[in-house]
Amino acid sequence: MDFASLHEDERPREKLLRLGPESLSTAELLAVILRTGRQGEDVMALSHGLLSRMGGVEGLARASVAELMQEKGLKAAKAASLAASIELGKRIAVVSAGEKKEWRSRLLSIALETKYSDRETIYALFLDARDGLIDEAELSYGGMTGAYLDLPVFFRRAVRAGAYGVVLIHNHPDGSRFASRDDERLTEHVKKALGVLGIKLKRHYIAAGGELFPVGGAEDEEPPRRY
């Protein structure tokens, strides 16, 4: 529908003020942020086109500022406003997930933090004898298809933390919830090596699409529920 033909009350900004932001579609929310269209295309058409080209809201959330600025009609001001809005949404989601000081809640935070990441990262959470979270570490930062875990560094960190238990988590940038054979081998190797040190591997999780999926071979079977 032509934006100019919309009744004033049905235009995105006016609709938001009258009915609240939850009443708007994703394209309408985007139109409020962008404010204006481009030559030959009104703001609603620009918003629908941008979502289509970017692969929906998830694709938009993955886009860098440089990628946004490559879109015709998205100059520095519009691209900056859009990138800032997306980042604010990500931070709000992380704060909501991290309100509880407990390792399962921290896992959920990491799952949300890495939801739109295009690189694989491995994290460890170190637990005390009562499963309290005492320390955490970002152990590696890899590429799209994998990340290297420096095992000696990991084991030293666990010992120095005085950990009784460890939880591993790594993200899959492609969104796959399934463990690879390498994931399973790593889990078994870490479990055995930690056992020699008197430390228990609670669980190894895959973070994919903001959710958590366990890798076999450890103790805790039930993944934390997403928020």
pLDDT per position as a tens digit, 106-150: 899 899 988 888 888 999 999 998 888 999 998 876 544 556 788
Distances (CA, A) of 95 to 108, 126, 166, 195: 11, 21, 23, 34
The span from the CA of 43 to the CA of 3, in Å, is 7
Q: Kindly state the tokens that stand for 77.
A: 């001001």
Query: What is the chain's mean pLDDT, rounded?
Result: 83
Q: Kindly state the tokens that stand for 144.
A: 């799209």
* H or E segment and range at residue 214: strand 211-215
Give the type of residue at 158: A
Cβ atoms of 143 and 116 within 8 Å: the answer is no
Radius of gyration of the chain, Cα coordinates, nearest whole angstrom: 22
Per-residue confidence band for 100, with pLDDT thresholds at 50, 70 and 90: very low
CB atoms within 10 A of CB 43: 23
Residue 227 has pLDDT above 90, yes or no: no
Picking from 50, 11, 52, 53, the residue whose alpha carbon sits closest to that of residue 32 is: 11
Highest mean pLDDT among 3-17, 78-92, 118-132, 147-161: 118-132
Q: How far apart are the first and last CA of the chain?
A: 36
* H or E segment and range at residue 208: strand 200-208
Q: Mutual orientation of helices 26-34 and 43-54 as an angle, nearest 10°?
A: 120
Cβ atoms of 181 and 192 within 8 Å: the answer is no
Collapsing DSSP to helix, strand or coil, 2 comes out as coil
pLDDT per position as a tens digit, 169-196: 999 988 899 998 988 998 999 999 999 9
Picking from 71, 57, 70, the residue whose alpha carbon sits closest to that of residue 29 is: 57
Beta-strand (E) ranges in 78-199? 121-127, 133-141, 165-171
In this structure, of 101-110, 125-134, 154-163, 205-214, the range with the lowest mean pLDDT score is 101-110
- pLDDT score recorded for residue 32: 92
- pLDDT score recorded for residue 101: 53
**Bigger pLDDT: 6 vs 211:** 211
- pLDDT score recorded for residue 6: 61
Structural domains in the chain, sorted by start: 3-95 (1.10.150), 102-215 (3.40.140.10)
- What is the share, in percent, of the chain residues with pLDDT greater than 70? 84
**Bigger pLDDT: 2 vs 68:** 68
